[in-house]
């Protein structure tokens, strides 16, 4: 069972993201830009801190490497969506369609992490390792939030 603190931290963020996506989908046009920026910052920081903790460790483990690579490539895909959305008028039909697509992809991503990546990691990692990852994630997330606030959408990663 993936119930160690690192997985609880990550899942708590995912639930926050699900709520933010739902709120943005139902928002008035006038509120979209602000809610989108908050979502972009939150998801970008989460993904970065997740990569610096869990995925860095999974990438170093031959049994977990492929799943880690899959998730990291999806982070890049979501980041590209953010870049594209930032170029569009939030009041346009194009924005609505692109957001819908992004929401679908991202919800799939976090469902997959919870159902596949986290249980695989929990099976292979020691309790000590999981503790260490929780500490790294909790330390990195606030720093990554600050960093994401300063960055332009779509170029948070190479
Ligand atoms: Fe992720
Ligand atoms: Fe995640």
pLDDT tens, position by position, 19-59: 999 999 999 999 999 999 999 999 999 999 999 999 999 99
- pTM of the entire structure? 0.95
Q: How far is the CA of 106 from the centre of ligand 1 (A)?
A: 8
Q: How far is the CA of 122 from the centre of ligand 1 (A)?
A: 16
Which residues constitute the domain of residue 45? 5-150
If one counts the domains in the chain, the total is 1
Q: Which of 145, 43, 16, 15 is nearest to 99 (CA)?
A: 43
Domain assignment present for residue 24? The answer is: yes
Q: How far is the CA of 31 from the centre of ligand 2 (A)?
A: 25
User: Residue 17 CA: which ligand is closest?
Assistant: 2
Domain assignment present for residue 158? The answer is: no
Q: How far is the CA of 22 from the centre of ligand 1 (A)?
A: 18
Domain assignment present for residue 157? The answer is: no
């Amino acid at each position: 069972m993936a119930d160690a603190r690192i997985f609880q931290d990550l899942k708590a963020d995912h639930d926050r993201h699900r709520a933010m996506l739902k709120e943005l989908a139902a928002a008035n046009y006038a509120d979209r830009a602000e809610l989108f920026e908050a979502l972009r910052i939150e998801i970008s920081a989460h993904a970065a801190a997740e990569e610096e903790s869990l995925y860095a460790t999974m990438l170093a483990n031959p049994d977990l490497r492929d799943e880690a690579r899959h998730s990291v490539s999806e982070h890049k895909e979501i980041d590209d969506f953010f870049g594209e959305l930032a170029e569009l008028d939030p009041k346009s039909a194009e924005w609505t369609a692109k957001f819908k697509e992004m929401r679908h992809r991202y919800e799939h991503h976090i469902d997959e992490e919870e159902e596949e990546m986290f249980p695989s990691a929990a099976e292979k990692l020691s309790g000590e390792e999981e503790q260490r990852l929780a500490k790294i994630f909790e330390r990195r997330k606030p720093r990554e939030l600050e960093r994401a606030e300063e960055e332009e959408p779509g170029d948070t990663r190479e």
